[in-house]
Amino acid sequence: MAAPKPKVDIPFTSYQKFVLAILAFLQFTIILDFMILSPLGAILLPALNITPSQFGLVVSAYAFSAGASGLLAAGFADRFDRKKLLLFFYVGFVVGTLLCGIAPNFEFLLGARIVTGLFGGVIGSIVFAITTDLFAFEVRGKVMGILQTAFAASQILGVPLGLFLANKWGWHSPFLLIVGVSAAAGVLGVTLDQLPYVYIATGISSIVMGPIIGRLSDRIGKFPMFLVGCAIAIISVIVYTRMPIIGLYAVMIVSMIMFVGISARMISSSALMSALPDAADRGSYMSVSSSVQQISGGIAAALAGLIIVQNPDGSLGRMDILGDVIVGSTVVTAIMMTFIYRFLKKRDEGLKQKEEPLEAPQIVDA
């Protein structure tokens, strides 16, 4: 039996580096826009005179429209040049974000988020389709880790800037610059002035750990790294949603650990799922996959809006219940990913057996 081939580090070409940088920048702006509403909850609720449930509807509107557009795009995603398709949807995404920046009321903002989601929801799938076409499976963990730094960069740059601008010039200003973060004010006793520091810390941890996690997933395996990320996420979510009002540094540490777990799950699962489709169906598959993720995000946002309540003092209650829902869904995801991993492993073993040449018959002297 032949010895297993040692894993080698495949270097990127200049063209691959250029394309990867462009795709990372696009992901940066998309993630900023997707995250933009959450930190503005404390400002939007009184500014637009809306309830937490209505706010959850605005957040989920983007996800639902993005999911619907992804399903529609699956029918023609592989018929057009990916670069032209990416440019078309990105222009529409920018227009939708501009509409959010000039929204005068709740209804207009809701419609603007739907428009933004219709275009922005397809971009992520196109980015991953281009990435899968351009990079071999052996280095996709590394590539996904680099793309994941866009998420971290949005926290380091967008989080503090978005909150500072919103506090100074109102909630419209972050939309105009496509910046944002997710909300934590009022839950852990962290003020809006302190919140940027929390996301700077989590962003730095993500941007440092993203490439490391990507390399580790290529080295030890995508599925084991996914399970490690699930374990870290579960523990940190339990702690995060049950913490009393504590100091800023403790919140920063727990947030950093939680985002490491989230990054490990996202990077490893993206690399693992990219191996499922054939090259001819990759664009359609990525569109459907992105749609399912967006719709799930919309359901999650709407469900969170129903679970979370605003206490008389302005803080958010029932975070422990929300944490239990997150933990349960994480466990279910790990179980589902186990079946996918076994399917891929069985398929790869079958392909290897077909590729192995038959041994030549031995001639025995009479």
Q: Give me the architecture of the 21-346 domain, per CATH.
A: Up-down Bundle (1.20)
pLDDT value of residue 258? 82
- pTM score of the predicted model: 0.54
Low-confidence ranges of the chain (pLDDT < 70): 1-11, 36, 38-39, 42, 74-78, 80, 148-207, 245-248, 279-280, 282-283, 294, 298, 301, 310-316, 351-366
Quick one: tokens of 293?
């993720």
- DSSP reduced 3-state for 263: helix
**Would you kindly state where each structural domain of the chain is located, as residue ranges?**
21-346
pLDDT value of residue 231? 92
Residues forming a β-bridge with 295: none
- DSSP reduced 3-state for 316: strand
Whether 154 and 147 have beta carbons less than 8 Å apart is answered as no
| φ/ψ (deg, to 5) at 305 | -65, -30
pLDDT value of residue 163? 66
